[in-house]
């Protein structure tokens, strides 16, 4: 029997200077170790219809330049779909915007992070609950990951377990139930992706009083974050 494919819900595209490396869905598929025919991509931001849930091993929701708090039509339709999928037990993983969209779909609160923009290679601190989580078990208490965001999950959904935080963001990862995860950081980003995003946001960073060159120089590899993405794929297939 062939393995069921994963559904990647595309909620946005990379910043223009990074599109030569492909789409967010492509970055995720490669980082997750999925073959081209092992993923079905639906561009919900562009208006593509959400499919039925049947026949998918799991769902991964991408990042976006949009804001969940804008409540765009395509985003709210996706939130409704994700709410139903979560309650039906379909394995779900949200990344950055996808993390926030899942939290919103399940009754959490999303908004501007009071600490402002988080960008670059950052430390992720695990809560004790993470050490028995299927995606985080065995990882060190602190590990590096790539991040770029202005909004955050300010309040996790009722019943969710917050798995990770850092000094900037109190909810860098959560699990809801046994099959739904949100990651504020980007497990699919390579150092090339992260440095490219810092260059693309140079003017905004300068306006905020931050040194983009210094941030880019401090970028380092984050293999453990990528491991979490691959663990989700294995978990969903089981």
Q: Which residues are catalytic?
A: 96, 186, 188
Are 17 and 81 contacting, i.e. CB atoms less than 8 angstroms apart? no
CA distance 177 to 181: 9
The DSSP line for 79-125 is HHHHHHHHHHT--EEEETHHHHHHHHHTT-EEEE-TT--EEEEEEEE
Residue whose token pair is 């998918």 = 56
In sequence order, the 6+-apart residues with CB closer than 8 A to the CB of 126 are: 136, 139, 140, 141, 142, 143, 163, 164
In sequence order, the 6+-apart residues with CB closer than 8 A to the CB of 212 are: 198, 199, 201, 202, 205, 206
Token code pair at residue 218: 């401090």
Note the Cα 87 to chain centre separation in Å: 20
Strands 58-61 and 92-95, bridge-based pairing: parallel
């Amino acid at each position: 029997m062939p393995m069921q494919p994963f559904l990647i819900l595309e909620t946005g595209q990379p910043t223009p200077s990074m599109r030569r490396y492909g789409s967010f869905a492509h970055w995720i598929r490669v980082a997750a170790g999925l073959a081209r025919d092992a993923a079905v991509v639906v561009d919900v931001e562009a208006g593509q219809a959400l499919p039925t849930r049947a026949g998918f091993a799991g769902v991964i929701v991408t990042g976006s330049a949009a804001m969940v708090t804008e409540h765009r039509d395509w985003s709210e339709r996706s939130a409704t779909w994700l709410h139903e999928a979560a309650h039906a037990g379909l394995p779900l993983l949200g990344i950055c915007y996808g993390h926030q969209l899942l939290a919103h779909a399940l009754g959490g609160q999303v908004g501007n992070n009071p600490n402002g923009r988080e960008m670059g290679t950052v430390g992720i601190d695990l809560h004790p609950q993470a050490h028995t989580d299927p995606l985080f078990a065995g990882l060190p208490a602190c590990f590096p990951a790539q991040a770029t965001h202005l909004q955050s999950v300010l309040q996790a959904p009722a019943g969710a377990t917050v798995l990770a935080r850092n000094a900037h963001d109190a909810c860098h990862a959560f699990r809801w139930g046994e099959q739904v995860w949100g990651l504020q950081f980007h497990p699919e980003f390579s150092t090339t992706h992260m440095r490219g995003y810092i260059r693309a946001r140079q003017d905004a960073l300068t306006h905020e009083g931050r040194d983009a060159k210094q941030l880019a120089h401090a970028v380092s590899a984050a293999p453990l974050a990528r491991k979490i993405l691959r663990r989700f794929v294995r978990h969903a297939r089981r």
